[in-house]
Homo-oligomer: A and B are copies of this chain.
């Protein structure tokens, strides 16, 4: 474990340390977070989220390790699943194996302490709201562009969870009737057009077609179109590959159309775009802003919500989960 604090926490902050755990697709990341959102200790384990038992073991081990080294007052876990309103059950996960998984009870029984379990995108959005690019906005929408699209809403300083705990699943809005099949069971979900999976699919298609455009993509993939991922496209685009930049531009357009739909329904004051694909920066966000402005209903007669990049990077989820656990613990006292 890296014990070097990013900066010296105040004595007050030390007194309210919270552990945040972020369960990603291939790894579990954990961090000790102080009241100012600073990660003062961290660890990461390679654990595939498809193996629920291994994830559970990893979480238990991390909580024990950090509890031995710090005075941890609260523990928050961000999981890529749909939590029920009480936060006790992972109802469903489009990308993982959980179905009605009583994650919180399982962990609390093993750890003998209270645990907060939240949707990973809600955790990341909360992190950006409290300490990142979403501060001081009364209606904030956060989009996490990873394998799929994660979403969260903060309204008047509170996460908006919906009637059943499932608000913010923006990625599963049907945006193209009879479009690409989505893991959720629908066709044409937004995340089939604006996500890492979508970017990889389009790039593989381009490479398979042996288009002259795709030569750098193919070279970077060792000649095998099938190993091209969204992350590779993003990296090549940042490195100047014209084809990868075109693919990001296409995806940015879909991103902007979906954001305009969210403005029609929700009218947020700001959009914060995070997740791995946000590493593309303005290569993605500029086309998104253009398409957003072009598809915003009432344009010309309304304020235009800014679309900005997240600032917490890969820490957003664990920082947000830790802070939500801290807030929840405080409200119980």
- Using a CB–CB distance below 8 Å, which chain A residues touch chain B? 82, 91-92, 94, 99-100, 137-139, 151, 155, 160-177, 182, 184-186, 189, 257, 260-270, 295, 297-303, 305
Contact = CB atoms under 8 A, between A and B. Distances in A.
B298 A167 contact: no
Given A92-B301, A163-B305, A295 B174 contact: yes
A268 B163 contact: yes
Copies in the complex: 2
A166 B299 CA distance: 12
Given A82-B298, A92-B302, A301-B99, A269 B163 contact: yes
B265 A265 contact: yes
A128 to B, nearest CB: 16
Nearest to A268: B163
B168 A265 contact: yes
Contacts of A166: 263, 267, 298, 302
B298 A162 contact: no
Given A160-B155, A184-B297, A264-B169, A91 B257 contact: no
A176 B177 contact: yes
Given A301-B82, A302-B91, A267 B161 contact: yes
